[in-house]
Amino acid sequence: MTDKEVVGFIGLGLMGKPMALNLLKAGHTLVVHNRSREVVKDLAAQGAIEAHSPKEVAEKAEIIFTNLPDSFDVEQVVLGPDGVIEGVRNGQVFVDHSTIKPSTARLVAERLLESGVLALDAPVSGGDIGAQKGTLAIMVGGPAEALNRVRPMLEVMGKTITHVGDSGAGQIAKAANQVMVAAQMVAMGELLILAKKAGADPEKVVEAIQGGAAQC
């Protein structure tokens, strides 16, 4: 048995499954739900508790995590029929790791607060490798008291946890992160074209500048 809080995880895709598995390995009682059931069965075989709806996850867990494809999915899972909001109770914390609109994060937080639930928008960066290794960068928006409560769990999944500000601020930080990623991808494309047109081996050029200020 464990004295750690029971956690729920909804959305067990490329990122969500390894994140949930890290919580399970850390000794948490884990309740899981996913639209595709095969991954649920896989985690259940490793010790997780199977749930059949977001509502059931909320009923069984004290801390609820989600990692879903987009804003629409988050709204449906949290606020829709058999959603998280139908199973919550006062004192729980909801943490969304999805990358969504800041306005959606604020809406979800406002609706959950009506039921006494504090919400954090906590998108992540680091890819599936970071999710597997527990080295994600986690950008958090929402109440500091909620972050303090779930920080030990976030530290299982991430290497850096930064409280950016109020609800929606985590999503704003993630948008900024994506701008930087896109700029780097464009720059990489330009330098490869430059190298090739100027008569150098693009692969060797990348190798040459990896250890310099570019660090690409």
DSSP state of 84: G
Q: What percent of the chain stands above pLDDT 90?
A: 94
Is 108's pLDDT higher than 60? yes
pLDDT band at 214; cut points 50, 70, 90? confident
What pLDDT, in 10s, does the model give residues 166-198? 999 999 999 999 999 999 999 999 999 999 999
Task: State the average pLDDT for the chain.
Answer: 95
Is 26's pLDDT higher than 90? yes
Of 55, 159, 174, 197, the catalytic one is 174
pLDDT band at 213; cut points 50, 70, 90? confident
* Burial readout 36-65 (b: 16 or more C-beta within 10 A, e: otherwise): eeebbeebeeeebbebebbbbbbbbbbbbb
Question: What average pLDDT does range 16-33 have in this prediction?
Answer: 97
Work out the angle between the directed axes of helices 202-209 and 169-198 (0-180°, nearest 10). 130
pLDDT band at 212; cut points 50, 70, 90? confident
**41 flagged as catalytic:** no
Q: Which fold has domain 7-167?
A: Rossmann fold (3.40.50)
Question: What average pLDDT does range 111-126 have in this prediction?
Answer: 97
Domain ranges of the chain: 7-167, 173-209
Using DSSP bridges, classify how beta strands 124-125 and 136-141 pair: parallel, antiparallel or unpaired: antiparallel
pLDDT band at 86; cut points 50, 70, 90? very high
Is 59's pLDDT higher than 90? yes
pLDDT of res. 147: 98
Element (H, E) at 74: helix 71-79
pLDDT of res. 216: 62
Q: Which residues pair with 65 in a beta bridge?
A: 9, 95
Is 2's pLDDT higher than 70? no
Question: What average pLDDT does range 40-61 have in this prediction?
Answer: 98
pLDDT of res. 1: 37
